[in-house]
Amino acid sequence: MDLTTPDLPSSDAPLKVAVILGSNREGRFGPVVAEWFLGQAAGHPDIETELIDVAETEPPATGAAPAAPRLARADAFVVLTPEYNHSYPAPLKSLIDRHFTEWQAKPVAFVSYGGISGGLRAVEHLRQVFAELHAVSVRDTVSFHHAGALFDDRGVPKDPAPASGAAKRMLDQLVWWGLALREARTRRPYGG
């Protein structure tokens, strides 16, 4: 029996990863982290990325590209989040909560940044939220402790090796889960 249809990606198609920039504060550091991460992802041969910036989608702005179709076509997600008050930003929560089926049976990885904790408390909260949405969180993360001091004026990490190594491990895990879950959804639609 042939389980393929013209609408489904082939098993060797690049993984479509939506990279979600989760902060919209004025003067935010997120774009620096996003640019660095997109450069890391571009070096991975099995990934195709699309940036979704909550500053452009939350609250839904007139004329802004709606997030739902962009999230739905993604095979996997990377959430870039700062830590605000031991958690993640409200605009990110709004984006997550306005969607449901778009997250189901897909992997989510995290890149966080902040002060002493590097955003890891925000990531722990996000893991719980995504579990409730039937998404699978990837174990390894990338976190930047005291992020502003780790990047130079051009937005390049001063010591790139640790962050690049963490990003590679995380992306490798994301690709494994993304391809496995994409194949599973192709064979048997998720009914959660």
Kindly report, residue by residue over 71-110, the tens digit of the pLDDT.
999 999 999 999 999 999 999 999 999 999 999 999 999 9
Alpha carbon 175 to chain centroid distance?
12
Q: How confident is the model at residue 5 (pLDDT cuts 50, 70, 90)?
A: very low
pTM to 2 decimal places = 0.91
According to the model, what pLDDT value does residue 54 have? 95
Which of these, 148, 147, 141, lies nearest to 126 by C-alpha position? 141
Q: How confident is the model at residue 66 (pLDDT cuts 50, 70, 90)?
A: confident
According to the model, what pLDDT value does residue 11 have? 66
Contact in structure between 52 and 18 (CB atoms under 8 Å): yes
At a CB cut-off of 8 Å and minimum separation 6, what does 79 contact? 20, 22, 92, 108, 109, 110, 111, 126
At a CB cut-off of 8 Å and minimum separation 6, what does 87 contact? 121, 122, 125
Q: What is the pLDDT of residues 115-167, one digit of tens each?
A: 999 999 999 999 999 999 999 999 999 999 999 999 999 999 999 999 999 99
